[in-house]
Amino acid sequence: MKKKIVAGLLTAAMVCVMIAGCAGQKETKKEGEKKEEAFKAGFVVGSFEHVFYQQIRDGIEEQAKELGMDATVTDAELDPNIASDRIQDFVTQGCDAVALSCNDAAGVKPAIENADKEGVKMFTFDCTTDSEAIQCFVGTDNLEGGRLGGQELLKYSKDGDTVGIICYPTASSCLDRQNGALEVLEKEDRKVVYDNNYEGDANKAQEIMENMLTAHPDMAAVFCVGDPAATGALAAIKAAGSDCKIIGFDGNPEAKEAIADKEGNGKWWVSEIAQNPKEIGKQIVEQMHQYLSTGKVKEKTIYIAPYVIDASNVSEK
């Protein structure tokens, strides 16, 4: 009789252990499922035709994979209407958050604020807008980059010379670059030609540069607020037989190649204000993930410092 009672107690104990074990496995599974649940995010870069935005995309995809985020990256072809449509598409797809480059700040603001009303958290990178819906912006310190560009213009010109800026004022980042350069130049004895908009198009930049050289054939140097503008300017300067020097902005591979080619394009394209697009992509993903996880970001605005590339350091960059 005692043996039966003991056996019964052992059986009951084993059942309890099994139940407890099963309960623990279920809890572990739940925890595992929670960890595996991915935040869904959409990203809209300016244009995949630009190397700069391709590198931002690479940074986004690398960091999203690292953090286990479900990320989709598309582009807006530098068109605010397309950008707005992309935002709405991501809202419809159930994204938790969307980040974009506001190449036309005013044009995309309504779509940003509509998405925010739908409960989608909004972020910006490279170019931003003044909407209160933006949780965080990550980009180059473009005002400081413009100041560096202005200093380079001074380096390649002298008192009384004419210098130019090829602008893109509808993009906040490029407007900051323009204003940073003007801030430096207004304190110096230079004539500055800058009333233009190349709209992110190298062909348009070439036309602008042609017009500048027609009106000012002795222009000493030109600051281009983006590398596509520098590419267009180079074509116009070479065709005109001008000695005008080019300072670009981005730090794309073609810029580095030109600067390094001292006997070729490096005779004109002499320096570059470089950004770190891959880091911009990584940082915006990091901030989105942090916000979706904790409700907070590191900072409302995160700037990444630009730097100068020229013949003295191009091989190191």
Spatial separation of the C-alpha atoms in residues 276 and 55, rounded to whole Å: 9
Q: Is the pLDDT of residue 38 over 70?
A: yes
Pick the residue with more confidence: 33 or 129?
129
- Specify whether the CB–CB gap between 246 and 219 falls below 8 A: no
Q: Is the pLDDT of residue 10 over 70?
A: no
User: What secondary structure letter does DSSP report for 127?
Assistant: B
| Helix 172-185 with 142-155: angle, nearest 10 deg | 40
Tell me how far CA of residue 16 lies from CA of 21, 28, 132, in angstroms: 8, 18, 56
Question: 253-298: per-residue pLDDT in tens?
Answer: 999 999 999 999 999 999 999 999 999 999 999 999 999 999 999 9
Sign of CA dihedral 28, 29, 32, 34: negative
Residue 317: its pLDDT value, please? 80
Q: What SS3 class is residue 147?
A: helix
On average, the pLDDT of the chain sits at 90
- Specify whether the CB–CB gap between 193 and 212 falls below 8 A: yes
Q: What is the mean pLDDT of residues 192-197?
A: 98
Tell me how far CA of residue 32 lies from CA of 28, 29, 69, in angstroms: 6, 5, 16
Cα Rg, the chain, nearest whole Å: 27
The two tokens of residue 34 are 């929670």
Residue 33: its pLDDT value, please? 39
The two tokens of residue 168 are 């893109």
Residue ranges matching CATH 3.40.50.2300 in the chain = 40-141+277-306, 142-274+310-316
- Pairing label, strands 191-193, 221-224: unpaired
User: If we measure between CA atoms, which residue out of 268, 274, 260 comes closest to residue 312?
Assistant: 260
What distance lies between CA 309 and its chain's CA centroid? 19
DSSP string, 267-315: GTEEEEEE--HHHHHHHHHHHHHHHHHHS--S-SEEEE--EEEETTTGG
In sequence order, the β-bridge partners of residue 95 are none
DSSP string, 94-163: T-SEEEE--SSHHHHHHHHHHHHHTT-EEEEESB----TTEEEEEEE-HHHHHHHHHHHHHHT--TT-EE
User: What secondary structure letter does DSSP report for 163?
Assistant: E
Is CATH 3.40.50.2300 correct for 40-141+277-306? yes
Grade residue 178 by pLDDT with cuts at 50, 70 and 90.
Answer: very high
| Predicted TM-score (pTM) of this structure | 0.77
- Pairing label, strands 269-274, 307-310: antiparallel
Q: What is the mean pLDDT of residues 10-37?
A: 38
Question: 41-73: per-residue pLDDT in tens?
Answer: 999 999 999 999 999 999 999 999 999 999 999
- Specify whether the CB–CB gap between 272 and 260 falls below 8 A: no
- The fold of 142-274+310-316 is Rossmann fold (3.40.50)
Pick the residue with more confidence: 85 or 19?
85
Question: 73-122: per-residue pLDDT in tens?
Answer: 999 999 999 999 999 999 999 999 999 999 999 999 999 999 999 999 99
All residues at 6 or more sequence positions from 162 whose CB lies less than 8 Å from its CB, including other chains: 190, 191, 192, 193, 216, 218, 219, 220
Chain position carrying tokens 């222009």: 219
Q: Is the pLDDT of residue 36 over 70?
A: no
| Type of residue numbered 233 | A
